[in-house]
Amino acid sequence: MAQVSVGPTGQKFGSAADQPGTQREYETIFILRPETNQDGITLVNQRVRGVVDQMGGRVLKLDNWGKRKLAYEVNKQLKGIYLYWQYIGNTGVVEEIERNLRMLDSVIRYYTVKVDQNVDPTAKPGAIDDEAFLKAATTVPDEEALATGAATLPRFDDDDIPGMNDDFLGGDDSMKDKD
Neighbour tally for 91: CB within 10 Å: 20
Average pLDDT, the chain: 79
Distance CA 101, CA 68 (A): 20
Q: Is 177 part of any domain?
A: no
Give me the CATH number covering residue 16: 3.30.70.60
Strands of the 23-32 sheet, one edge to the other: 58-74, 77-89, 23-32, 107-119
Q: What is the pLDDT of residues 1-17, one digit of tens each?
A: 344 445 555 555 555 56
Within a domain: residue 178?
Answer: no
In a domain, 24, yes or no: yes
Q: Is 109 a member of any domain?
A: yes
Whether 162 is in a domain gets the answer no
Residue span of the structural domain in which 103 resides:
5-140
For the chain, the first-to-last Cα distance in angstroms comes to 78
Q: Assess contact for 86 and 61: CB atoms under 8 A.
A: yes
In a domain, 160, yes or no: no
What SS3 state is found at 5?
A: strand
Into how many domains does the chain fold? Answer: 1
pLDDT in tens, 139-170: 777 777 767 776 666 655 555 555 555 554 45
- Most confident range, picked from 34-38, 148-152, 172-176: 34-38
Q: For 18, which DSSP code? A: S
Can you spell out the DSSP letters for 75-130?
Answer: TTEEEEEEEEEEEEE-TTHHHHHHHHHHH-TTEEEEEEEEEEEEE-TTTSPPPPPH
Residue 163 belongs to a domain: no
pTM of the shown model: 0.71
Whether 170 is covered by a domain: the verdict is no
